[in-house]
Structure 1
């Protein structure tokens, strides 16, 4: 039996991921890359992806890198999104891709967890138009690893 990928796990457990048909292009502890297909059902009034769909894409990319970087810690801590902020930079049209990176070294975050702390750490996400690579959005998500009681 094969172990499911992070993308398969999120697709199975997060209804919004399934609804938007997000595609997982890369999920490593260093980088997560997800794609939102162009789907008219999720367009806004100017025929681009709705802001909520772009937010979900960015938040999902941030969650993927958290799971990839800290999956081995799940027996002792729960990853939780503390807050997220997104800036919409340019009109997004067609397929868009979100790329997430950790804002702090994973080893530093795990060391804080080892000390009994509840570490917080940023995840930076850039959303681009596939047609020309233009940055259409930027997200900063703040995550924590809440130690189990």
Structure 2
């Protein structure tokens, strides 16, 4: 039976002020994959008229956080998800609306088994950032951990 994670989009907007401020929207949410978009807003632009690099990073990190929240929604009383580190590569000049697809890099069951064994698991989320034409403008990896609740 699949868990309903439809609440994640609204929860991200309520729990993470940055998401609401920038207008990030979550188009698809599942425990293994999230698609988020960043609007083409001039207040988020850089000196050449496209989304600022910080906005691209924020979109990717927010998408990764949403997939982690969706994947571990039923276990948030046991552990707090935290970003450990991130790496981003800017591939092409980004213009217009951007789309970030975040994919969980390890099976949820393996991560939970590691947590249950007393370890603090780390796991990657890979993110592909594309423009409206589907051209890859950035690639990103965010490594997350589950910090056991005390």
Q: Does the pair score TM above 0.5?
A: yes
Deviation at 1:4, TM superposition (A): 7.2
What do the CA deviations read for 1:92-114 (whole angstroms, capped 9, x no partner)? 11000000001111111011011
Unaligned runs of 5+ in 1: none
Q: Does 1:87 align with 2:89?
A: yes
Aligned mates of 1:77, 1:70 — CA distance in 2: 9
**What SS does the aligned partner of 2:21 have?**
helix
**What SS does the aligned partner of 1:41 have?**
helix
Deviation at 1:5, TM superposition (A): 1.3
- Compute the TM-score of the two structures, normalised by the length of structure 1: 0.95
Work out which of the residue numbers 52, 58, 61 in structure 2 matches 1:50: 52
Aligned mates of 1:71, 1:26 — CA distance in 2: 16
Aligned mates of 2:18, 2:94 — CA distance in 1: 20
Q: Give every structure 1 segment of 4 or more consecutive aligned residues whose post-TM-superposition deviation is greater than 4 Å.
A: none
Work out which of the residue numbers 13, 17, 38 in structure 1 matches 2:40: 38
Q: Does 1:107 align with 2:109?
A: yes
> Alpha carbon RMSD of aligned pairs, Å?
1.2
Aligned to 1:143: 144
Aligned to 2:31: 29
